[in-house]
Amino acid sequence: MAADGTLVKRHSAWVRMTHWFNFVAVLVLLGTGLNIFNAHPYLYWGASGTTVDTGGRWLAIGSLRERGMVMVGTTTFDTTGLLGRSAAKNGTVQNIAFPHWATIPSWRDLGLARNWHFAAAWLLILNGVVYLAYGAFSGHFRRKLVPGPAELRPANIARDAVEHLKLEFPKGREALDYQILQKIAYAGTALLLLPLLVFSGIGMAPGMDASWPWLVDLFGGRQSARSVHFIATNLVVAFIIVHLLMVVLAGPFRLMRGMITGWQRVETAK
């Protein structure tokens, strides 16, 4: 057993490599995805939807009377300065769903954004295959992510939730193991959300009507696939925000060193 205050091996090279490839892929996918969304900032349920055919529309980001707005169903929110209407690089105000600083590239270029988006998607897919293969065959999933029966008890989940809310993080050797909420969040994102993003993205491709029509039907139409893609993306963004917040609160330098070098310092349990 490692003594308190010593360095211990936390992450293997494979875990670190796939983590950072994932970081790059998701960052590019998010930025380019917002640029692509700006070309048609509306979402629908069903097989079709246009600026004229608005029957299935449930979300719109735009401007009205020189105010930025987000419309969800029949409810409208004023988002001037952030969504719908914001300042461009040169300071002029423009009507655009997502601001230039959130998109890749920072200017409106649907063709370039799509090319980068597809390239990053392939990186995400190939990296995901490597991660899943490593996790399954090395025992990483079994050791780190699969919860035991005792961990899944409601009382244990509630206790972990309370400790997170009170910002009470494990110390010593316990800090090297994922807690139940971490396991649920990591496994849910890696095994459910990211695959859902990939398949809903594929379902949006026009060629899928001929190649994999069942996939388009599974989502209820191409526009529904686009809506699912958008919702799943927002859930991934929410996961990233919470993940980064927990890293900052639990000790950013110690945890970052663990994910970069593989070695993490064991703190003294109190």
* Domain identity same for 179 and 81: no
Give the pLDDT score at 167: 87
Q: Is residue 102 part of a domain?
A: no
Q: Is residue 270 part of a domain?
A: no
* Domain identity same for 36 and 88: no
Please, which pLDDT band fits residue 240 given cuts at 50, 70 and 90? very high
Where residue 181 sits, what CATH number does that domain have? Answer: 1.20.950.20
- Are residues 127 and 194 in contact, defined by beta-carbon separation less than 8 angstroms? no
Give per-residue pLDDT as tens, 16-49.
999 999 999 999 999 999 999 999 999 999 887 7
Give per-residue pLDDT as tens, 46-63.
887 776 667 789 999 999
Give the pLDDT score at 170: 83
* Domain identity same for 61 and 114: no
- Are residues 264 and 12 in contact, defined by beta-carbon separation less than 8 angstroms? no
* Domain identity same for 198 and 214: yes
As given in the structure block, the two tokens for residue 6 are 């010593």
Give the pLDDT score at 268: 62
Count Cβ atoms within 10 A of the Cβ of residue 86 and give its class: 0-12 exposed, 13-18 middle, 19 or more buried: buried
Give the pLDDT score at 173: 76
Query: Which of 138, 137, 135 lies closest to 183 in space, CA to CA?
Result: 135
Give the pLDDT score at 3: 47
* Domain identity same for 29 and 53: no
Give per-residue pLDDT as tens, 152-173.
999 999 999 999 999 888 887 7
User: Domain of 80?
Assistant: 42-96
Average pLDDT value for residue range 183-209: 91
Give the pLDDT score at 250: 87
* Domain identity same for 134 and 220: yes
* Domain identity same for 56 and 142: no
* Domain identity same for 64 and 90: yes
Domain boundary among 59, 76, 96: 96
* Domain identity same for 77 and 162: no
Rounded to the nearest 5 degrees, what angle is found at the Cα of 105, between the Cα atoms of 102 and 109?
115
Please, which pLDDT band fits residue 251 given cuts at 50, 70 and 90? confident
* Domain identity same for 36 and 47: no
Count Cβ atoms within 10 A of the Cβ of residue 120 and give its class: 0-12 exposed, 13-18 middle, 19 or more buried: buried
3-state secondary structure of 157: helix
- Are residues 172 and 266 in contact, defined by beta-carbon separation less than 8 angstroms? yes
Q: Is residue 222 part of a domain?
A: yes
The count of structural domains within the chain is 2
Q: Is residue 101 part of a domain?
A: no
Strand partners, 85: 95
Residue 83, pLDDT above cutoff 50: yes
Which comes out higher in pLDDT, residue 251 or 53? 251
Which comes out higher in pLDDT, residue 16 or 90? 16
Residue 147: partners with Cβ closer than 8 Å, 6 or more residues away? 180, 183, 184
* Domain identity same for 142 and 182: yes
| pTM of the predicted model as reported, rounded to 2 decimal places | 0.90
Average pLDDT value for residue range 260-265: 90
Residue 126, phi-psi category: left (phi > 0), alpha (psi -120 to 50), beta (remainder): alpha
Which comes out higher in pLDDT, residue 176 or 27? 27
**CB < 8 Å & 24+ apart, contacts of 18-22:** 18/127, 18/130, 18/131, 18/134, 19/259, 20/259, 21/123, 21/127, 22/124, 22/127, 22/128, 22/131
Average pLDDT value for residue range 119-129: 96
Q: Is residue 21 part of a domain?
A: yes
* Domain identity same for 34 and 60: no
Query: Between β-strands 67-72 and 75-78, what pairing exists: parallel, antiparallel or unpaired?
Result: antiparallel
